[in-house]
Amino acid sequence: MYPNILKKIIEDFQKLPGIGEKTAERLALHLVTKIDNDEIIQFSNHLANLKEEIKYCNKCHMITDHDVCEICSNPNRDHHIIMVVADAKDVFVMEKMKTYHGLYHVLGGLVDFSRGITDKDLNIDTLEERLKNAKEMIIATSGTVEGEMTAKYLKSLFDDNRLSVTRLAYGLPVGADLKYADELTLSKAVENRLKY
Amino acid sequence: MYPNILKKIIEDFQKLPGIGEKTAERLALHLVTKIDNDEIIQFSNHLANLKEEIKYCNKCHMITDHDVCEICSNPNRDHHIIMVVADAKDVFVMEKMKTYHGLYHVLGGLVDFSRGITDKDLNIDTLEERLKNAKEMIIATSGTVEGEMTAKYLKSLFDDNRLSVTRLAYGLPVGADLKYADELTLSKAVENRLKY
Q: What is the pLDDT of residues A91-105, one digit of tens each?
A: 998 898 888 999 999
A17 domain-assigned: yes
Is A78 within the bounds of a domain? yes
Whether A64 sits inside 8 A of B25 (CB atoms) is no
pLDDT per residue over B80-138, tens digit each?
Answer: 999 999 999 999 988 988 889 999 999 999 998 888 888 889 999 999 999 999 999 99
Residue of B nearest to A17 (CA): B27
CB contact under 8 A, A32 and B8: no
Nearest CB to A50; choose among B5, B26, B89: B5
Angle between helices B21-34 and A88-97 (to 10 degrees): 140
Based on the domain organization, do A46 and A105 belong to the same domain? no
Residues in A touching B42 (Cβ below 8 Å): 8, 12
Do B111 and B156 share a domain, yes or no? yes
* Beta pairing, strands B81-85 & B164-167: unpaired
For residue A62, give how far its alpha carbon lies from the nearest alpha carbon of chain B (Å).
10
Query: Could you tell me if B87 and B29 lie in one domain?
Result: no
Chain A residues touching B72 at Cβ < 8 A: none
Domain hosting residue A100, numbered range: 56-167
Looking at chain A, which residue has its C-alpha nearest residue B8?
Answer: A46
Q: Are residues B95 and B26 in the same domain?
A: no
pLDDT at B180 over 90: no
Please report the ipTM that was assigned to this predicted complex. 0.81
Does B113 reside within a domain? Answer: yes
Which of B3, B16, B63 has the CB atom closest to A54's CB atom? B3
- Based on the fold, state whether residues B158 and B102 are members of the same structural domain: yes
Same domain, A65 and A101: yes
Closest approach of A98 to chain B, Cα-based (Å): 13
Helices H / strands E in chain B, number of each: 7, 6
How many whole angstroms separate alpha carbon B2 and alpha carbon B11? 12
Tell which residue, A32, A39, A142, A41, has the closest CA to residue A84: A142
Domain CATH code at residue A92? 3.40.1360.10
Q: Which residue of B has its CA nearest to A2?
A: B64
Are B92 and A65 in contact (CB < 8 Å)? no
Q: What is the mean pLDDT of residues A58-79?
A: 96
Is the pLDDT at B181 greater than 80, yes or no? no
| Per-residue pLDDT reduced to its tens digit, A126-185 | 999 999 999 999 999 888 889 999 999 999 999 888 899 998 888 878 777 777 778 888
The structural domain count of chain A equals: 2
Confidence category of residue A19, pLDDT binned at 50, 70, 90: very high
Residue B56: which H helix or E strand, with range?
Answer: strand B55-56
* B126 Cα to chain A: minimum distance (Å): 19
Which of B5 and A176 is assigned the larger pLDDT? B5
Task: Assess whether pLDDT exceeds 80 at residue A196.
Answer: no
Q: Say yes or no: A43 and A111 in one domain.
A: no
Beta carbons within 8 Å of B125's beta carbon, 6+ residues apart:
none
pLDDT of residue A182: 81
> pLDDT class for B143, splitting at 50, 70, 90?
confident
- CATH number for position A46: 1.10.8.420
